Amino acid sequence: MIRKFLKTKARSPIARRCEDDKLTTLRQKYELYYPIAEAQNGTRVTIDGQELVMLASNEYLGLSQHPKVLKAGKAALEKWGSGTMGARSANGGRGFHRELEEELASFLGKESCHVFAAGYLACMASITGFAQRGDIILADKNLHSSLWDGIRLSMAEVERFSHNNPQRLRDLLEQLDPQAPKLLSIEGIYSMEGHIAALPEFVEIAKEFQCFLSLDDAHGIGVLGNQGRGTANYFSLTEEVDIIAGSLSKSLASTGGFVAGDASSIEYLRTHCKQSIFSAAISPSQAACARAALGVMQDEPEWNEKLWSNTKRYKQLLEELELDTWQSETPAVPIVLGDRERAYYFWKHLREKGVFTVISTAPGVPPGKDLVRTAISARHTDEDFERIEAALRYAKKKL
C-alpha cells in the first residue's frame, strides 16, 4: 500500500529541484567526490587502480603519516576511545582538549584558544562568536565559504571590498558610521589564489577605524612565519591581530579547527559559539595527531624548508611553461585556464598522465578565472616532480 502511494505520489518541488539541478549535473560530469582507494605518504594515491601523484592536497608539510603523529593518534585511541560523544559544554570535554588549546595558544603567541571539531566550524565561529546584529563586517570578496556562512549567520551588516585591496577597504570605511562596531574578516593565505594578505596595511586601517581583526589562517599555519606560526607571525603582527582562526586539517595533519585570541575574547567565544556548544568535541585521536604534528613542526624545521624549496622548484617550472598562476606567492598554486572547458580538459590530461589536481570553476572562482588548483607538499620527491613536469607539458600541449 505504502509502496503504491510512493509510486503515484507527485514529485515535490524540492525533489524535482534535486533532479534538475544544473550544478549537480556539472559536478557529476567533472567526476568530483573521488573515492581514493589508497594513500601513500601524502603524495601518492590510487584511484580506480591508477596510481597518481597527489598535487592538490592541503597537507603542506606531509605529516599525516609521520611516525610521531601516528603513534600519538594510536595511543589516544587506546586511552580515550574513539569519540567524545558530546559537546565541550556538556559531557564531551577532556583534559587533552585543554592541553591542545594551551599548546596552540602558546605556539601562535596568543593568550587563549578554543578547539572545534572542524576548521569550517571554527572559521564560522570566528565571525558568529563575535559579530552580531547592528555591527558591520568588512569582508574581502574572496573569503572562504565558512566565513561567508558565519557572516550570514551573525545577522550583522556586510560590506565587501575587492580582494586583498586595503585602499578599497579604506574608501569603504570612510563612508561608514564611525560609531558602529566593526569586524574585519580576511585570510592569511587565500587558498585558491595562493595570495598572502597585505596584513601590515590591513592592521594599520583596522587600528585607525577601530575594527576587530579576525584572520582565517587555515593555509598560513605551518607554511609562513617562524616554525610555521602563520601569517601574523610572518609580519610580526601577532599582537595587532585580534583573532587567529585556523584548521587542523592542513599542515597539522588531522581534522578540526581552532580560534585563538586574548583571554577575554576566547571566553566570550566559548559562551557564544553555537558551533561548539551544540556539537560534539573533536575526537581523541584527531586532537592527539594535531598535537603531535604541532610538536613536529617545532622540532623538525626541515619540513617547512623542504616545502619552500619544492614550491620554488614548482613555480620555476610553471613559469617556464608560461602557465598563469594568478601570481601565487605560496605552495597553494592555481593554474588559471580562464574558462570551464579549458580547465576541465587541462585537469583531465593531467589525470591521464598520472597527476591528481582539483578543478575550481565559477561561481567558486570569479568569472574568467576557472582554474585547476594545485598544491605543493614537503613530501614531493624528484620522481614526483618528473611526473608532474611531464604531465604539465602534455596538458599544456593539448590545450
Residues binding ligand PMP (CB under 6 A) = 118-120, 123, 144, 146, 187, 191, 216, 218-219, 247, 249, 257
**Residue among 219 and 369 whose Cβ is closer to ligand PMP:** 219
Which residue has the closest beta carbon to ligand PMP?
A: 119
**Residue among 123 and 197 whose Cβ is closer to ligand PMP:** 123
Closest contact distance (angstroms) between CB of 250 and ligand PMP is: 7
**Residue among 59 and 384 whose Cβ is closer to ligand PMP:** 59
**Residue among 206 and 358 whose Cβ is closer to ligand PMP:** 358
**Residue among 173 and 273 whose Cβ is closer to ligand PMP:** 273
Closest contact distance (angstroms) between CB of 349 and ligand PMP is: 25
**Residue among 187 and 370 whose Cβ is closer to ligand PMP:** 187
The b/e string for 215-237 (b: 16+ C-beta within 10 A; e otherwise) is bbbbbbbbbbbeebbbbbbbbeb
**Residue among 247 and 330 whose Cβ is closer to ligand PMP:** 247
Cβ of 61: how many Cβ atoms within 10 Å? Answer: 28
Q: What is the Cα–Cα distance from 54 to 304, expressed in whole angstroms?
A: 18
Closest contact distance (angstroms) between CB of 245 and ligand PMP is: 8
Cβ of 259: how many Cβ atoms within 10 Å? Answer: 34
What's the gap between Cα 316 and its chain centre?
25
Q: What is the strand order of the sheet 50-54 is part of?
A: 38-40, 44-47, 50-54, 355-356
| SS3 (DSSP) at 6 | helix
Closest contact distance (angstroms) between CB of 159 and ligand PMP is: 20
**Residue among 149 and 324 whose Cβ is closer to ligand PMP:** 149
* All cell numbers assigned to 93: 570535554
Q: Which residues contact 265 (CB under 8 A, 6 or more apart)?
A: 112, 130, 242, 243
Nearest partner of 232 among 248, 215, 219, 246, judged by Cα: 215
Residue 25 exposed, middle or buried by CB count within 10 Å (0-12, 13-18, 19+): exposed
Amino acid letter for position 52:
L
Find where cell 601524502 sits: 42
Closest contact distance (angstroms) between CB of 200 and ligand PMP is: 20
Contact 15, 25 (CB under 8 A): no
Closest contact distance (angstroms) between CB of 122 and ligand PMP is: 7
**Residue among 83 and 354 whose Cβ is closer to ligand PMP:** 83
* All cell numbers assigned to 114: 578554543
Closest contact distance (angstroms) between CB of 324 and ligand PMP is: 21
Torsional sign, CA 104, 110, 112, 117: negative
Beta bridge partners of residue 332, listed in sequence order: 375
Alpha helices in 119-230 (DSSP H): 119-128, 145-154, 166-174, 199-208
Closest contact distance (angstroms) between CB of 191 and ligand PMP is: 4
DSSP 8-state class, residue 97: H
Find where cell 585591496 sits: 165
Closest contact distance (angstroms) between CB of 194 and ligand PMP is: 12
